[in-house]
Amino acid sequence: MTDATPDAPRQDFIRQIVRSDLAEGRHAAIRTRFPPEPNGYLHIGHAKAICLSFGIAREFGGLCNLRLDDTNPAKELPEYVRAIQEDVRWLGFEWAELRHASDYFEVFYLAAEKLVRAGHAYVDDLSAEEVRAYRGTLTEPGRNSPYRDRSPEENLDLLRRMRAGEFEDGSRTLRAKIDMASGNINLRDPALYRIKKVPHQNTGDAWPIYPMYDYAHALSDAIEGITHSLCTLEFEDHRPLYDWVVERVDLASSPELLEPLRAAGLPVQAGRPRQIEFSRLALNYSITSKRKLMALVQEGLVDGWDDPRMPTLQGLRRRGFPPGAIRLFAERVGISKQNSVTDFSLLEQAAREVLDAEAPRRLAVVDPLKLVIANLSDDHAEMLTFANHPKNEAFGTREVPFSNALWIERDDFMREPVKGFHRLVPGGEVRLRGVGIVRCEEVVTDGDAVVELRCTLDADTRPGMPGADRKIKGTIHWVSARHAVEAEVRLYDRLFSVPDPDADGDYHQHLNPEAKRVVRGYVEPSAAGLEAEAHVQFERLGFFIADRRDHSPRRPVFNRIVTLRDTWAKKQ
């Protein structure tokens, strides 16, 4: 199961709103958008928003735009823009239109002039520190700026001079004139524009002023005719400002504001969006703050934004989580108004379910111990037929080389066995997967270290022979030492060792030292030949992926995605 059943309608509160709006004829078609800021890489929390916005559009026959809210050029990079587009497509979605907030800069500015002329906005000379002092607190109202009562004519002149680049960075702002005594601090004359003489990746040096996020976001949604503007709960208190901007600018009554877009050939579907908030994704054993993730990268605590330990979509992809598992996870987390923390095991289980159906099986050994079958000749070699998937014959079969010298997992042998250990012990027997039953006759050591096991194969227990069904408790896997290909195997696990790594304010202390272990192992030849980003189950070891950047048939590199079972349940 990789996604929800198409004919099973989902019943979250947002979809109920959309169904009601369509049934009552409020919209001819649904239009949503996913509006990331290109100031970092997307993470697992964004995946929930992507699946929701694109999923709603897909389910109701509508359209979803990808819009890059690029209003803060000092923190934005083309690298992030490219990665965002790649991540959305990797998750299985395609946008109706690719838009940028910067596409609308001229419209934003003309709308600002309209607000100034109508007395709804003014140019303020207070410094950032003074603005904070005047704003008040949650229990005390703010105070009006001494510049609040400038005339529309003076404000318009100052705004145009701001636009012309006449003033220094931070010396003036354009603020909405709303209510400094409002119980919602977002309505205490919020800034609409600030002076920032920074080149923009799309507009170059054309603009010495840039719109604030809430102002640009609201108007962008209105310009694109977004019907349902889906946001996380932290924007709930911003909704009154969002609505204030859309209502005061009123694009429908001022078509001249949209003329720059028409002149540039950009389609316009101006409308009145409805903002709806839902709970963001909080995942334990993880952090999703862009600032903190960037710190991990900059401090060298991880190997970049796509480090497989990172909760970024680039990291999850490189780790090997299939996009179907991310979508399944987002579906199971669900949509609600209640903030909660999701257990990391839910993401891991989604990966196991998807990969169990999709990943072919191969043989590999990650902690090798040599096993020699003494009653086979040293030149013994044959090909054994193995199913590529035990539950799906459509995967076909493959030929696996077998010889008298094998690699097995070191922990499949125990010199002094404990109760319940059913694998190989001195004098004991175990079934070699697809081969037959062997008995351990001799243990070769070097000091205290076991370096080789010498065994005999009961030929009567080989597949097709009369004793093939002889009952024995243990079965282990192997690879032929003569034919195996050495591989780098990266054993990944959760980045943090505690459920809430930032509870005490210092997540650095809780980095999991076992989150990455690199070992030299051996894989059967057909595994080495897999293409980069091919998924595979190494039998009894877990699900793995051929690393998208470092893997090659001559130098195989595999990343562990998840173990076959939840190993963290025992620790909690």
pLDDT digits (tens, 9 = 90+) for 20-70: 999 999 999 999 999 999 999 999 999 999 999 999 999 999 999 999 999
Q: Which fold has domain 361-483?
A: Ribosomal Protein L25; Chain P (2.40.240)
* Pairwise CA distance, residues 236 & 228, whole Å: 14
What CA–CA distances, in Å, run from 2 to 59, 324, 357, 532?
A: 17, 5, 9, 21
> Which string of DSSP letters, residue by residue, matches 530-567?
PPTT-EEEETTTEEEEE-TTT--SSS-EEEEEE-SS-S
Q: Which of 31, 290, 352, 431 is catalytic?
A: 290
Query: Any binding-site annotation on 422?
Result: no
Query: Any binding-site annotation on 45?
Result: yes
Prediction pTM value: 0.93
165-177 CB burial, b ≥16 within 10 A, e <16: eebeeeebbbbbb
Is the pLDDT score of 403 beyond 80? Answer: yes
Assign domain 101-278 to a CATH class.
Answer: alpha beta
Q: Which of 248, 280, 482, 540 is catalytic?
A: 280
Q: What is the mean pLDDT of residues 99-119?
A: 97
Q: Which of 63, 61, 60 is nearest to 33 (CA)?
A: 63
Query: Any binding-site annotation on 197?
Result: no
Is the pLDDT score of 281 beyond 70? Answer: yes
Query: Any binding-site annotation on 234?
Result: no
Query: Any binding-site annotation on 71?
Result: no
> Which string of DSSP letters, residue by residue, matches 123-178?
EE---HHHHHHHH--SSS-----TTTT--HHHHHHHHHHHHTT-S-TTS-EEEE-S
The dihedrals phi and psi of 383, each to the nearest 5 degrees, come to -110, 130
Is 37 catalytic? The answer is yes
Q: In what order do the strands lie in the sheet with 191-195?
A: 121-124, 173-176, 191-195, 209-211
Query: Any binding-site annotation on 541?
Result: no
Q: What is the mean pLDDT of residues 401-405?
A: 98
* Pairwise CA distance, residues 195 & 422, whole Å: 72
Domains 101-278 and 361-483 share a fold: no
Q: Which of 220, 218, 193 is nearest to 207 (CA)?
A: 193
Is the pLDDT score of 415 beyond 50? Answer: yes
- Cβ(265)–Cβ(217) under 8 Å? no
Query: Any binding-site annotation on 281?
Result: yes
Q: What is the mean pLDDT of residues 294-303?
A: 96
24: Cβ–Cβ under 8 A, 6 or more apart, which residues?
Answer: none
Tokens read off for 92: 């299985």
Domain layout of the chain by residue ranges? 101-278, 361-483
The dihedrals phi and psi of 442, each to the nearest 5 degrees, come to -150, 140
* Pairwise CA distance, residues 367 & 487, whole Å: 11
Q: Which of 37, 76, 348, 409 is catalytic?
A: 37
Query: Any binding-site annotation on 512?
Result: no
Query: Any binding-site annotation on 43?
Result: yes
Tokens 């050591």 identify what position? 445
- Name the pairing type of β-strands 449-458 and 368-373: parallel
Instruction: Give pLDDT, residue 6.
Output: 45
